[in-house]
Homo-oligomer: A and B are copies of this chain.
Amino acid sequence: MATPKCAANYAPLTPILFLERSASVYPERTSIIYGDLRFTWKQTMERCRCLASKVAQLVSAGQTVSVLSPNSPAVYELNFGVPMARAVLNSINSRLDARMISVLLSHSETKVLFADSQHLQVVQEALRMWLSSSDAPAEKPQIIVIEDRLDAGSYNFQTFLPGWGELVEYEEFLASGDPSFPIQWPLDDWETIVLNYTSGTTSRPKGVLYHHRGAYLAPLITVQFWGMQDESVYLWTLPMFHCNGWTFIWGMAAIAGTNVIIRNVEAKAIYDSIVKHKVTHLCGAPVVFNTIANAPPQDKKKLPGRVFTITGGAPPPPSVLSNMESMGFTVLHSYGLTETYGPALVCVWKPEWNGLSAEERARIKARQGVATVGLQGLDVLDPDTMKAVPRDAKTIGEIMIRGHTVMKGYFKDEDATRKAFEGGWYHTGDLGVMHPDGYVEVKDRSKDIIISGGENISSIEVESVLFKHPQIMEAAVVARPDKHWGESPCAFVTLREGAMGVNADTIVAYCREHLPKFYVPKTIVFCELPKTTTGKVQKFKLREMAKALPQSVASKL
C-alpha cells in the first residue's frame, strides 16, 4: 500500500490523549475541586504518571486493578493512571456487599485493589471469602488504602486482616512514584482499558470490557452534543463507578473543564457546590433529581446560571421535570447501558416542542430518543425474525444497537458475548417501540411485560399514570399470578408524606380514568420500594412479593 499507517498519521485512539493535552494546554486550570483541595491539570497529569509508574511495578499489561471507593480525586486519577500502565481498571460498585465483591475480585483476577478507608471492613470480609474459596488466587492481592482527606485519620492502618502487614496509603504510594513516567500507550485501540461489571444478579457476573477506541469516542461525542466547553464545571452527582461516570471522567479531560467532586450526594452539598463553583453541568439517576427537586427549602439555593443536566435509567417524572426546569435546570433524558459506554440514545429536544403544554413536553421527554453519532445503528427489532417493528409507537420489539460505542464484549464469557451480539446487533434486553419520528421509547425490561388475558401490559405505562397522581411519591408495577387472567398488574405504591384520603379504591378509580380497563392494577400494596444500590427499583423482589401475597389481599374488580 502506497499510503500506509505510520507514526505521523496514525495512533490508536485513547482517552489518555485527552489528559496529556489538557496538562499541556491548560496546565494551570483547575482540574479537580474536592472540599478545600484543588488540583490543576498539570498536577493531575503528574499524579497520574506517579500512579502509573507504581502500578507498572505491580502488574503486567492487561492485568486487572480494582477500585472500591465513593467518588474521590483518587478514583478520577485511577481512570487514567491504571490505563497509562496498560493495566485494566475495574471499578466496583461501592454499595455492593462482601459476597458480591468477593465474586468480582475473583472473576476479574484482581492483582491490586485500591480501597477507600470507609470500605475496609467490607473489603476484609470479601478478601476472607475469596481467599478461603476454591477460586483463591495464588498470590494475595496488593491493597492500597485511599485515606479520605475529608475524613483522614479515621482508620488504623495496622488492624487489617491478620498476616497482611501494614497497608500502604494512597498518597504515600504516589509519593514514591515517578512524575515523569513515560505513558505506556496502547498498541492497538481495541486494547481493553477498563472492565465494568453490570449491576444485576450475582449468579454469573458479566464483566463489560471497554476498548481505548470507545473510551475516546464516547466521551468526545457526549461533550459535543451536550455543548461542553473548556469553561464547563461538572458536578459529580453520578457515581464514578457507573460506566466510568458515563465516561465523563475522560470527557472532562477532553475539554479541560473542572470536576467538582462530592463524597455524599445530598441536597445541601449539591446546592452549595453549584453556587460556590458555578457548576454548569451534572448528571444523575432519577433519585438524584428527586433529591434536587424535593430538597428542603433551607437547602435550596438560587442557581448562579443555567445548569444542564442529563438523567437516565428511567424517564424523569413530569413533576420533577417541571420543578427542575422552573428552578433553572435544563433536563436532557438519555438512555444507555454499561454495554454502550453509558449514554447511547438521547431524547434530542426540538424547538417546535417548546410551545406544547408541560404535560405534553414531559411525555415527549420521557422517550429515550435517538442515536448519538457514536452508533452505526439503532432500531427496535423483533428478536425472533430480526426485522424492524413498524414505526407506529405501538408494536413492541427489542431495542438493538450497533456501532462504535458498543462494548468489546464480556470478560471470560464467550457465550454471553455471542448471545449479546447475535445477528450483528447488541441486544439491550429492553423492550420498546419506535415512534413515527424515529424516537425510541422503552416500554419495559424484557421481563417486565405483564401478560393478562393474552394481552400485553406495559408496567411502565401503568407506573407513569400512577406517578402523575398528586399524592403518590413512587410506584412500581409487576405481574401477580392470577387464576383467571394468567397474570394481573399489581402496583406497589409509596405515598407522599402527609397524603390524605388515598386508599386502594381511590387509586384504582383514578387508574380507570386514565388507562385501558385491562391495564388497571388489580392489587395495590402500600410500602417502601426495595431498590438496588444504584437506586433502581428491584422488580424481581416485587415479583416475589406479589407472588407471595396471601389470597386474603383480594384482587379488586
Question: Residues on A close to B: CB < 8 A?
Answer: 2-11, 13, 17-18, 21, 24-25, 27, 190, 192, 209, 220-221, 223-225, 227, 229-231, 254-255, 348, 351, 370-371, 373, 376, 401-404, 406-410, 412, 414, 417, 420-421, 424-426, 438
Contacts and interface: CB of A to CB of B under 8 A. Distances in A.
B7 A424 contact: yes
9 contacts: A2-B409, A2-B417, A3-B410, A7-B402, A8-B426, A24-B370, A24-B438, A225-B229, A231-B351
The 10 closest A-B pairs by CB, nearest first: A3-B409, A7-B424, A8-B421, A9-B406, A224-B224, A11-B376, A3-B408, A25-B370, A8-B402, A8-B426
Contact of A425 (B7, B376, B409, B426): B7
A6 B407 CA distance: 11
A255 B373 CA distance: 9
A491 to B, nearest CB: 35
A17 B373 contact: yes
Of A8, A371, A409, the most chain B CB neighbours within 10 A belong to: A8
Nearest to A339: B9
A373 B8 contact: no
Contacts of A18: 373
A280 to B, nearest CB: 12
A407 B6 CA distance: 11
Given A25-B438, A417-B2, A8 B412 contact: no
A421 B4 CA distance: 11
B412 A2 contact: yes
A286 to B, nearest CB: 25
A409 B9 contact: yes
Given A406-B9, A438-B24, A224 B230 contact: no
Contacts of A401: 8
Contact of A9 (B229, B230, B254, B426): B426
Given A3-B417, A9-B402, 9 more contacts: A2-B409, A4-B409, A7-B424, A8-B402, A8-B406, A9-B408, A11-B403, A220-B220, A220-B221
